[in-house]
Amino acid sequence: MSYDRVREADPAVADALTAERERQKRTLAMIASENHASKAVLEAQSSELTNKYAEGYPGERYYAGCEYADVVEELAIERATELWGAEHVNVQPHSGTQANMGVYLAMLEPGDKILSLDLTHGGHLSHGHPANFAGQLFDVEQYEVDPETGYLDYEGLREQAEQFEPDVIVSGFSAYPREVDFERVQAAADAVGAYHLADIAHITGLVAAGEHESPVGVADFVTGSTHKTIRAGRGGIIMCDEEYADAIDSAVFPGGQGGPLMHNIAGKAVGFGEALEPEFSTYAAQVVANAEALGERLTEHGLSLVSGGTDTHLVLVDLRDSHPDTPGGEAEEALESVGVILNKNTVPGETRSPFNPSGIRAGTPALTTRGFDEAATRRVADIIARVIDAPDNDDVLDAASAEVDELCEEFPLYE
Ligand SMILES: *Cc1c(COP(=O)(O)O)cnc(C)c1O
C-alpha cells in the first residue's frame, strides 16, 4: 500500500503515516498486546466498507444496501466459530473494552457486583477500575495474585467470592504470564451463583491454536480483542452459549454502540481466515517458545521474572531485586532509545506508582510475526539486559542500537 493519494491530499498526515511505517520496520515491537497484521488485513481494513452503515445484524439491518456487509460479517462469524468453537459469536464490538461492556450491559444492573483481578496485579481497566465506566457503574472488588509465587490464588479467589457474593467473576488478564485454569475460576463462580466472564484479549491467538487452555464451553462469556495474538483486524469479539445470544446482541447494538465498523469486521474476517491456516499453529507455538527463550535468557542475566517464568507470550520483569535504582519507566525509555519498544508495568506488591512502576512487560507476538526464532529472541534478551544494566552509558546504547538495526534487517517487515 502506498500513501500516494494521502500525500497529494494531505502531506502532513502522509508524513506521519510514512514515519510510522518506518518506525515499525526499524524497531522491535515487544508490547505484549501488539502485533503486525498482514497486508491483506491492512487492505481489508482500509476498504470502502468504512462508508457503509450496517446497524443491526446480517439479514436484519436497519438500512438498505447491506448485502456485501452481510457477506463479510457472516464470514467473520463463521471463521470465529471454527477457531474458538463457541455457539454464538458477536464480531461487532469496536474493541475489547466494548466487548466487556456488551457482557456487563447484557447481564448486570447498575450497582451489581464484579469481582476481578487488581490492575496492578495484571488486570485490565475495563474489569472495573474506578477511572473506567465499569468501576463507576458497578460495585467492584478485586482479587490479587499470590505475592510470593506470582500465580493466581484460586482458593483465595473462591473464599473472596463467598464473602463478596459477586454477580460476575472476571478472569483473563493483561499482564499475567501463566496459564489460567478457567475450570477453577468457574468453580468459584458456580459456588456463589455468579457468571464467569473470561476475557482472553491477549491470548485469543494462543487459545485458537491450542497453545493455551480454552475457556469456551467453560465460562459463560468469553470476550477478546481481535488485533493481539490473533493478528486480525482491530476490534473486539464476544462468544457465548445460544441462551445468551439475544441479550448479548442487543447489548452491543443498540445497547452500547451504533453502526458497526464494517471495514474492521472485514479485517477480522481476513485475519480469522489466516488463523485457520496450518501456518498459524506453527506461529502460535513459536510465540510461546520465543517467550520462554526470552524469559530464560533474561533470568540468566540476573533479572527476576514475576512467577519465575512464563507459559504464554509475555514475561513480566520485576526490577526491584536486580536493579533497585532503575524504575520501569527509566528502563522503558532507555530501551526505546535503542529501538526496543516495550512498556513499563506494575508488578504484584507494587511499591512505586503506576506512572513509574517497578517492572517491564515484554511480549513476543510481533517479533514472531517478523520471523524471530529462539536464537534471535535470545539476542534481543541480551540487548535488553545490557541496556538495563547501563541505561546511561552511550557506548552500550550505541552498540545496542546497531544490533537492533541488524535484527530489523535480518527479519524484515512488510517487504
Ligand atoms: C487489551 C485488553 C482489553 C481490551 O482492550 P482494547 O484496547 O479495548 O481492545 C481487554 N481486556 C484485557 C485483559 C486486555 O488485555
- Ligand 1 midpoint to CA 272 (Å): 18
Helix or strand run (H / E) with residue 206: helix 204-208
How confident is the model over 84-121, as pLDDT tens digits? Answer: 999 999 999 999 999 999 999 999 999 999 999 999 99
Ligand 1 center to 405 CA (angstroms):
30
Residue 175 alpha carbon, nearest atom of ligand 1: 15
Where does the pLDDT of residue 355 fall: very low under 50, low under 70, confident under 90, or very high at 90 and above? confident
| Mean pLDDT score, 57-83 | 98
The pocket around ligand 1, CB under 6 angstroms, is made up of 33, 95-97, 124, 126, 172-174, 199, 201-202, 225, 236
What's the confidence (pLDDT) of residue 176? Answer: 97
pLDDT tier, 30 (very low <50, low <70, confident <90, very high otherwise): very high
Q: Could you identify the atom of ligand 1 that is nearest to the CA of residue 234?
A: 9
* Rounded mean pLDDT, 312-339: 97
pLDDT band at 165 (very low <50, low <70, confident <90, very high): very high
CATH architecture observed for domain 43-275: 3-Layer(aba) Sandwich (3.40)
Indicate the top mutation candidate among 114, 174, 206 to test ligand 1's pocket, ranked by most ligand atoms within 8 A of CB: 174
* Domain 43-275 matches domain 281-410 at the CATH topology level: no
Q: For residue 125, what is the DSSP state?
A: G
- Taking alpha carbons only, the member of 33, 79, 87, 107 closest to residue 256 is 107
CATH homologous superfamily of 281-410: Aspartate Aminotransferase, domain 1 (3.90.1150.10)
How remote is the CA of residue 381 from the centroid of ligand 1, in Å? 26
Quote the pLDDT of residue 237.
98
pLDDT given at position 393? 97
Distances from the Cα of 135 to the Cα of 110, 128, 130, 200, 248, angstroms: 10, 4, 4, 20, 20
The number of the ligand 1 atom at minimal distance from the alpha carbon of 127 is 11
Q: Ligand 1: which of 97, 98, 316 to mutate, most ligand atoms within 8 Å of CB?
A: 97
Closest residue by CA, ligand 1 atom 10: 96
Mean pLDDT of 353-374: 96
Distance 157 CA to ligand 1 centre (A): 22
Per-residue pLDDT tens for 185-212? Answer: 999 999 999 999 999 999 999 999 999 9
324 CA distance to ligand 1 centroid (A)? 30
Give, as one character, the DSSP assignment of residue 62.
S
Counted residue by residue, the chain has a size of 415
Whether residue 1 has pLDDT greater than 80: no
Mean pLDDT of the chain, nearest integer:
97
- Mean pLDDT value of segment 249-257: 97
Rounded mean pLDDT, 25-30: 98
Provide the residue ranges of all domains of the chain, joining segments of one domain with +. 43-275, 281-410
**CA-123 nearest atom, ligand 1:** 13
Q: With residue 110 as reference, give the H or E element that holds it.
A: none
Q: Which atom of ligand 1 is least distant from the CA of 97?
A: 8
Residue 378 has pLDDT above 90, yes or no: yes
Peptide bond into 215 cis (omega under 30): no
How far, in Å, is the centroid of ligand 1 from the Cα of 88? 20
Q: What is the pLDDT of residues 6-16, one digit of tens each?
A: 999 999 999 99
Give the model's pLDDT for residue 415.
Answer: 84
pLDDT at 35 over 80: yes
d(CA 347, CA 121): 6
Gap from CA of 7 to ligand 1 centroid (Å) = 33
The pLDDT of residue 354: 84
